[in-house]
Amino acid sequence: MNDMIEKPLLRVLAGETVSPPPVWLMRQAGRYLAEYREVRSRAKNFIDFCFSPDLAAEVTLQPIRRFGFDAAILFADILLVPIALGRKVWFVTGEGPKLEPFNVLDFEQLTLNQTEAVLSPIGETLKQVVPQLPDQTTMIGFAGSPWTVATYMVEGGGSKDRFKTRVAAWEHPEAFDGMMDRIADVTAEYLIMQARCGAEVLKLFDSWAEGLPEPLFERVIIRPTRRIIDAVRAAGVDVPIIGFPRGAGTLYPRYARETGVTAIAVDTGVDPAWIQSVLPQGMPVQGHLDPAALRAGGAALNSEVDRLLDSWEGRPHIFNLGHGITPDVPVAHVEQLLARIRNRA
């Protein structure tokens, strides 16, 4: 067995059941850490923060130093790809990301062949982080999936129901699919670059996959994800790929079977017994503690950790949250979580 497979998270992604399971947390580099807040204060805005390799590398490493997670995940944002496509992105304090709303009929205006020029600082972050990781720690790169990125572009920011984007997908299917292809192709280039800069695992976040009828799910979730993975593999990149179609519900099995992902991340609402019964045999699963249970701590947290560990026994499993860690989580609760997983008899 080569040295790379000795890393617990890579062992799981190769199909092995590891006890205790490897653990990392979505948004593990974030505002709940005082050291993160100090570094964040040095950047004039969030986009500059992501594009500053020295700062981004430091906050990527902070949770590894403090907690010893089994993986580091690149500090960046899913809305860097629209910048490479020629769109303006900014963040408003207290409101989140903002973009000038995009008309899907103008999809041919989206710029291609700018990925490396625009997003090369992200590769530099990876190059800084990887040599500083402990030998057993895996480096994860990531991108937003095309549907989730498209919703921000069309809506001009976050949206509760992505209604405008769904209307555009139904009303202008050829133009919408053309836009999705452009987003997918730039995303594939971005992920290939990340792998070549040291990412050992790649993750696709489809944060807004919920509530879609199956025909639309096939068009805007499965098809572009498959396009990305095919392009990544065609480039000779063979690292594992984790897909996270958050809120996919009964369509999780189709996603798992048809996209080409190595492993699937599931959200808080998924019943482990059901998903165990419908996933391909031996497919690794990542998830899916309720972030609210982590915030609560105490007996409730211990109980949920135990339940999930029992639920996934016998299947390759990466312990994580069903969504990102919230800024108000006490550091002591993260320490409690890790102790419960790692010290369980």
List active site positions.
Answer: 27, 31, 40, 77, 152
Long-range contacts formed by 301-305: CB under 8 A, 24+ apart: 301/333, 301/336, 301/337, 301/340, 302/336, 302/340, 305/337, 305/340, 305/341, 305/344
Q: What is the DSSP letter of 43?
A: S
CA R_g for the chain? 19
269: number of CA atoms within 13 Å, CB side?
8
Alpha helices in 22-145 (DSSP H): 34-40, 46-50, 53-67, 81-84, 115-129
- Answer whether 129's CB lies under 8 Å from 72's CB: yes
Please name the amino acid found at residue 150.
A
Nearest to 81 by CA among 164, 159, 13, 179: 179
| Cα 205 from Cα 253, distance rounded (Å) | 17
| Cα 115 from Cα 204, distance rounded (Å) | 17
Nearest to 169 by CA among 111, 211, 207: 211
Q: What are the backbone dihedrals phi and psi of residue 201, each rounded to the nearest 5 degrees, phi first?
A: -140, 145
Q: Is 96 helix (H, G, I), strand (E, B) or coil?
A: strand
